[in-house]
Amino acid sequence: MKSVGIVGGGISGLFSAYYLLEYGCEVTVIEQGSFQDGCSFGNAGMIVPSHIIPLAQPGMITKGMRWMLSYESPFYVKPRLNWGLMKWGYLFWKHSTEAHVHRSIPVLRDLSLLSRQLFQELAMRGDFDFGWQEKGLFMLFKNQETRHEMQEEAHVANRAGIEAQVLSSQEVQAMEPDVQVNVEGAVYYPGDAHIYPNQLMDGLVAYLKNKGVRFLENHSVKDFAVQGNSVKSVVTSGGTFSYDEIVLAAGAWSPELSEKLGVSLPLQGGKGYSFFTSDLTNNIRIPAIMLEARATATPMGGGLRFAGTLEVAGTDRSVNMSRVKGIHNSINQYYPDLKVPFPKEADVWRGLRPCSPDGLPYIGRAGRFSNVILATGHGMMGVSLGPATGKLVSELVTNQPTSMALPALDPLRFS
């Protein structure tokens, strides 16, 4: 029986533990904080095989520069003299090409479809409830320019085998009979789904504990004891622990840990915000991305969660209420009769999505170390890609054939 230490108690770490159990491994999850404070708890909860175009794409830098002029915009890079940020920015620019998008589409598609299949199996298994619903996703747009962009994306999706339907405003309204929807139209992806992330995370932790997984909360990793081509133990604030295999799934903090092993990992924390309202007379039925505002709306837990922004600010976890105001202001532009109160700062969730510069996650072995696997860099799709990531990690640990090819996800691809 292999012993595996997973550094990071977020969605990638927990699903890695889940699938490693199926291979009979002895698993410990090490988390620097509390398991109630991870990035995935406040996620928009969207499971999105539709998202096959990486963040690094033509035109994104121009849009980003324009958005940075507004405090309420959906995108912001905190200016700072930081070599890691400059390298990340250069690599993002370098990969914002049509050729990169073309190469990435089948990778993201296969990863997302594997994840959706595993979510479906998890829901059918019924180990715990996590609010699984297959209602699709609206990509709502309000102007002709965005319509043109989304028609192109729908064409790309259909060509890649992901069903996409371009709808008129009347067709959107017919599918949302309980609230007014003020849009030019939408692209509808019937194959997408959504969950309640809080239930998923709580359910996973409870299930894993019941199955014997050891959880070490408030244990920050200080160093690794290296012997030859393997890591013999993990040195934490609460003691030193030895494992046969180590999985680094520490989200936005992964570069700090990989650096201790001499592995450079270009990655930036992309801060996002969300808030939840339950005081609604009527609710939407289908999750939506409000495209011009780059904000999301997801029905869950009897209420409605709004989320958005991508604030590249390292590991700064402070709340910028101007960004939250931008999300709130967008709601009535798309759903004019929803009465959503502006949240108090204490009720605003924020999390750091680990963003790679090319929009593809890092899943694979860490260079010369024979017993270290990296699983991070999923950006805004951490929850959506969680099961696939965990499955692939478990296959790598146990030397099984992987469910999909991994070269494009190699953690050393920028070395």
Query: In this prediction, what percent of the chain has a pLDDT beyond 90?
Result: 76
- pLDDT above 90 for 311: no
Average pLDDT, integer, range 139-156: 94
Q: Which of 40-49, 58-67, 90-99 is predicted with the least confidence, judged by mean pLDDT?
A: 58-67
- Closest by CA to 18, choosing from 124, 112, 109, 127, is 127
- pLDDT above 90 for 253: yes
- pLDDT above 60 for 215: yes
Taking CA atoms, 147 is separated from 50, 61, 329, 331, in Å, by 16, 20, 21, 19
- pLDDT above 80 for 54: yes
Average pLDDT, integer, range 24-38: 86
Average pLDDT, integer, range 181-196: 97
For position 79, what pLDDT does the model report? Answer: 67
* Residue in this structure with the two tokens 């007014």, named with its chain if needed: 180
Q: Let me know if 59 is exposed, middle or buried by CB neighbors in 10 A (0-12, 13-18, 19+).
A: exposed
Q: Which of 32-46, 151-165, 291-305 is predicted with the least confidence, judged by mean pLDDT?
A: 32-46
Average pLDDT, integer, range 131-158: 95
> Pairing state of beta strands 165-168 and 185-189?
antiparallel
Residue 275: CA count within 13 A, CB half-sphere: 20
- pLDDT above 90 for 233: yes
- pLDDT above 60 for 380: yes
Q: Dump pLDDT digits (tens) for 254-277.
A: 999 999 999 999 999 988 999 999
- Contact assessment for residue 263 and residue 412, using Cβ atoms and an 8 Å cutoff: yes
- pLDDT above 80 for 92: yes
For position 360, what pLDDT does the model report? Answer: 97
* Selected residue with higher pLDDT from 38 and 373: 373
Tell me the residue length of the chain: 415
Q: What SS3 state is found at 18?
A: helix
Q: What is the mean pLDDT of the chain?
A: 91
Taking CA atoms, 160 is separated from 147, 184, 187, in Å, by 20, 25, 16
- pLDDT above 60 for 251: yes
Q: Dump pLDDT digits (tens) for 316-356.
A: 788 889 889 989 999 999 999 999 999 999 999 998 999 99
Q: Which of 101-115, 207-221, 314-328, 370-384 is predicted with the least confidence, judged by mean pLDDT?
A: 314-328
Domains along the sequence of the chain with CATH: 3-409 (3.50.50.60)
- pLDDT above 90 for 55: no
Report which DSSP code applies to 346: G
